[in-house]
Structures are given as C-alpha cells and as structure tokens.
Chains A and B, each alone.
Chain A
C-alpha cells in the first residue's frame, strides 16, 4: 500500500488580514464574538463557532468531526437547504416527503425508484 502523507494547506496568509470584529452567526453555543480576519469590504460572513454533532464547541485539540448542521444551523435553516433537489435527487417531493417507490413511473421499470437520479439503476 502506497502511503501518502497529505499535509493540509498551510500558510495561506489569511491571518495577516486581522482587523474587523463581527457579531451574529456563531453567537450561539456560548461563544463570544471573535476577532476575525478580513477587511470590512471582504467581510461577507461572520465567523462561525465550530461545533461537533452535539453542539459542543471544538478546540484545536479536538479530534471529533465538526458538524455542519450544528455549526451552520445556528443561523441557517439546514433542513430547508438540504431539502433541495441537489441533495435529494428526486428522493423527496417539494414538500419534503420521501416518495421513493419501486416502478416509480408504473411502466414496468421496477428499478426506477424516483423521479430523479436517486434510485436509478
């Protein structure tokens, strides 16, 4: 087995752009508004508290995976976002109901299980 040691991107220089303090997203979970990078002009988003699946704030020493639902869900309706077609590919109807079934189009193709790419053979 070839073992590749992949190191993450380092030293991008982003930390050089210190300056603006933003509030808003990420305020939940007991965090305080943090010093962020970027200038006002480039500030398109507040810094977001990084959390695990149970909503616990992560530190540099943490090894638990961060949870996008907990991290971004403080401000964004994750279920609305993830209810989109790009996520379900026909698994759900516009109301969010799972509509997968065999022979979806009742045309003898038992392997076609949705109106989209989900469940196709």
Chain B
C-alpha cells in the first residue's frame, strides 16, 4: 500500500484508488473505500469536488498522493485516480445483509457482480457508451439490479472484471427485492434483508483467503463438526436441516454488535487489532469445558484418556489434534523474485498424503505444522498452521552501520519495478534447476545476476535498488565482493533484522470429531516409542521452508525441529 506522502513515483505501489478497485472486492466498502487519509470523501458528487480540493489543494499538489494517484502496476505508469469517474464505494450494507443468496456453481453471484464492477475502475460503461461510476455502482451490481452486465474474459484464478453495466432497478421490482410505491419511488423489500449475514455472504470474500491460504472448506458437514451441529446436520432428522444458503454458522461464533467488530480469535500472521482478540469470543475450551459461564450445553466434554494426560492439554491446543489434515489444495509457496510476478506453488507440489514422504503421488491430503500461540486463557500452546513460504527482493539500508543491524531497514521492492528489469520473465542467467519447467532464481550465480540487474534504473530513471537482497528460505542473500560467487547469506532469525520468508496462517476451522483426531488410532502418531521407534507422522512430518534451495531441491524441516518438542 502506498504511503500518503511520497517523494517520487518510484516509491509508490498500490494506491487507495487501486486498492478499492482490486482489494475492495473483498472489503465491504466504507472507510478507506470512501474517505481519504485526511478524512475527506474522495469525491463528492454534490459539489463535484475531490476531497483534496475541500482541503484547499490542487491537482498538482496530489500527483504523488497515495490517495489520489493511480499507479498502473503492470507498467508503473502514474496518473490521477479518477474518483470523479468511479465515485466512492460506501459501506455496502446489503452485501452482507441480503437474506436470499444467489449461488451458481458454488459461487456467490452477488460477490461476483460486485467484484466485476469494482475491478472495472474508470473503464466501466453502459451499453450506450456512457461512463458508469464503477465504485459507486458496485452495491447496485451486487444486488443484481442491472439489466446487462458484460464480463471480460480473465485468466484463470483472477477475479471477475466487468466491461459494461446497465443499472436497472426494474429487475429488482420484478424479482420482489424492490417494492414500487404509488409515487414511483422504490423501497427495499424488508423480506430480503437479513439481520444475521448468511455464511455465503462471509464466504464470498473469505473463501479466497481461507481456501488459498489455509485449504479450508465450508458447507461440508463431513469436514466440520461445528458447521454440522449449527445446521442440524448431525442428526437423523433431515427435515430440520438448514440448507447452505440459509446457514448463519459464521456469526454464531463471530458475532458482532452495531460497531461491526466481529468477535475473533488471535491471528498468527502479525497483528490484527490485537486488543480485540477474544472479545466476546468463545474458544473451544469455553464451550466444551465441564462448567463455566460460556459452556455450551450441547458441546461434549472431553473425557477420553488422551485428555487426562496433562502434558497433552498443557502443551497442545484442541486444534492440534482435532484439525489433523487438509484435503483441499492451498498455496504453499510464492515466488515473487524470479519474474517480478507472483508464481504460486500448491500444497500438492511439495507435500503429500504421506507426511514423511512429500514426493508421494498421493495428493489427497496434506498436513499442517504447528506454532506456539497464546490462547484466550493466556496459555502458550501449539496450534496448527500452514506456512506460506515466500521469496522476494528487498532493498537493504544498513544506515552506515554494518555491524549494527538493529537500525537497518529492509524495504520490499515493488513488483512493477522488478518487472521493469526482468520484462516479466526470468533473467537469461536463470536455469530450471528442478526441471519442473518453471524457472527459479536459486543458485548463487543466478542471485548475483539479479543483484546486478536490480541496480539498474526504473522507468523514472531511479535505481530499482541500491543494495538488493533476496529473502528466501529463512535466509537473506546479499552482495559480498569477498565471496567467490559474489553472494553470501545468513539466517534472518536471530540476526536483528525483521523480515519474513514464511508467513503463518492459523488453522482453526474444519474441526473433526474424536474418531478422526490425532491419537484416535495410535499413540504412535506422535510417540516414537509407540511407533516401533520409527519417525512419527506428526512430529517428523516434513515442513517446507524453501521451495528451491541452491541446488534446486526443496528444503524441509520437521515439526520436531521447529517446535523443539521431542516426545518419547
């Protein structure tokens, strides 16, 4: 995200205008989609003035403003964000509070329509060729109140993109979502408004992150005991089943008041409004405890022998055992270094259904690793996670004090600037060392070639990086003229630098019942002594930390090494 104030085009990446058009497809409008960082509405249709004009500024004053500029990230071209053409995206109440869902092929079409309009940015037009304010129209599009929506073909995996939109409220009158009054005005039919958002309203946005980052599934009673219970799918009476389109299971746990601060747990990936962690949120222990104010009377109290071992319940979270595996492919590694565009590798590329043999051809499952996290009760316990492994280029400023890393800064290089050097393909020096037909920068010679190239200029005549460094596999690779290859590296952890090449995504959903939990088949799932002295599927499972080491082979660690837990 671009800063508000920028000294040059070269330091700008995604501006607010960009953010609303792309990232905004999974945000509910309002806030940063409506107001700039000075609290001014980006564009006021009544006065036909930009927010900066209300603040007494002129267009030339905001040429590099992170709220009012637009940088085309495909080529780095800078222009003005045309809020006057798009309008702003207000808080989209009906995006979440629409009772009747429109699902096609598992997709929430209200999300698809809204996203298509937003992504069109200042290019959205009606069939007569008139500009349609894309951001302001996204709410109407999401409700299906249009006569025509013409979608552009996009590459697989990319969000929808509309080219044309004809808003037509008569469609809403016909389908009953709008009521026409005697004077011709319209009212939203209360029958289509839901106080509690349906799961599909949540899933429209959260499916992207939760599927790609965590391999989560939803609407599948066989893969989530809570979804099954909350929708009465775990009994023999099919007549009481709540269908997926009516499910409100998400807000059963993640409730909110008028402030819309949804109850939540604690994120593993940096901070997510940490002071609000666990506020009004019931954890596993709260509901399943034998007693307590938050106990859910329907929640079974754990009584099996495995729960009586205090070492288990002290060290391990409930999720540790009850989220034993995943069946949906998730992103496991992303390479932002080789071409300057993101190359993704799935769990099926580097993991398998055999936790000890990642190369197994059985890809029907993969397994999480674990990380210590404080639970609501303050106890530090191991929780399941899926690490997203990344490789990226940064510019390392040592502040003239090479022996003191505490004051160093390390800034990721915007990808548009890398693509300006690479031409969006691997440099000629790169070989495909792992023979997967996808080139990767991994050898010291290749890394050195990139370091030289990235000292070249961007389209504005400024060096892309002064001191380019590669972050990959937990190491920082830097230029070192004393080394034979010209490149040296060190482990980032413990170095004093703050940079990550693995990003933890907690696994808290798709909880399975006791019969499928770890330990239900054998103590040998964790304990070598109960596994004939052999490595165990849990503590010796392979965890990817680098998709391609200097020899091209993937680098793994194990849960045992990561956690430093060594059960007998």
Contacts and interface: CB of A to CB of B under 8 A. Distances in A.
B170 interface: yes
Contacts of A1: 152-153, 163
A37 B179 contact: yes
Q: Which 9 A-B pairs have the closest CB atoms?
A: A14-B176, A82-B30, A84-B260, A8-B144, A47-B187, A38-B191, A82-B91, A87-B31, A57-B185
A82 B259 CA distance: 8
Interface stretch (B132-140, B338-346, B426-434): B132-140
B499 A109 contact: yes
A54 B45 contact: yes
B28 interface: yes
B454 interface: no
B179 A32 contact: no
Interface string A91-111: 110100010101100011111
Contact of B190 (A9, A47, A91, A117): A47
Contacts of B167: 62-65
B546 interface: no
A69 B90 contact: yes
Given A36-B179, A110-B409, A120-B1, A59 B169 contact: yes
A50 B45 contact: no
Interface string B155-180: 00000000100111111111111111
Interface stretch (B235-243, B268-276, B509-517): B268-276
A120 to B, nearest CB: 7
B421 interface: no
Interface string A1-19: 1111111111111110100
B408 to A, nearest CB: 6
A98 B261 contact: no
A100 B67 CA distance: 12
Contacts of A103: 409
Given A36-B179, A66-B140, A120-B270, A108 B409 contact: yes
A115 B267 CA distance: 12
B528 interface: no
A87 B169 contact: no
Contact of B187 (A31, A69, A82): A31
Interface string B429-472: 00000000000000000000000000000000000000000000
Nearest to B276: A85
Nearest to A98: B37
B273 A115 contact: yes
Nearest to A54: B46
A78 B541 CA distance: 49
B186 A14 contact: no
A24 to B, nearest CB: 10
B28 A53 contact: no
Contacts of A36: 179, 187, 189-191
A6 B274 contact: no
B87 A65 contact: yes
A15 B458 CA distance: 59
B276 A68 contact: no
A22 to B, nearest CB: 7
B258 interface: yes
Nearest to A49: B187
A107 B91 CA distance: 33
B31 A12 contact: no
Contact of A59 (B28, B152, B184): B184
Nearest to B37: A98
Interface of A: 1-15, 17, 22, 26, 31-32, 34-38, 42-50, 53-54, 57-69, 71-72, 76-78, 80-92, 94, 98, 100, 102-103, 107-113, 115-121
B93 A72 contact: yes
B286 interface: no
11 contacts: A3-B163, A6-B113, A47-B189, A47-B190, A50-B188, A66-B139, A76-B93, A81-B93, A86-B260, A86-B261, A87-B32
Contacts of B181: 31-32, 34
B187 A48 contact: yes
Contacts of A53: 45-46, 87, 90, 136
Contacts of A72: 93
Given A10-B171, A81-B259, A98-B39, A31 B144 contact: no
B30 A9 contact: no
Contacts of A13: 176
Contacts of B126: 63
B169 A88 contact: no
A57 B184 CA distance: 9
Contacts of B151: 2-4, 6
Nearest to B92: A68
Given A68-B93, A102-B3, A45 B153 contact: no
Nearest to A119: B1
A58 B186 contact: yes
Contact of B258 (A5, A68, A81, A92): A81
Contact of B144 (A9, A62, A117): A9
Contact of B273 (A34, A61, A90): A90
Nearest to B4: A100
Contacts of A77: 258
Given A6-B149, A65-B133, A68-B139, A12 B410 contact: no
Contact of A84 (B145, B150, B256): B256
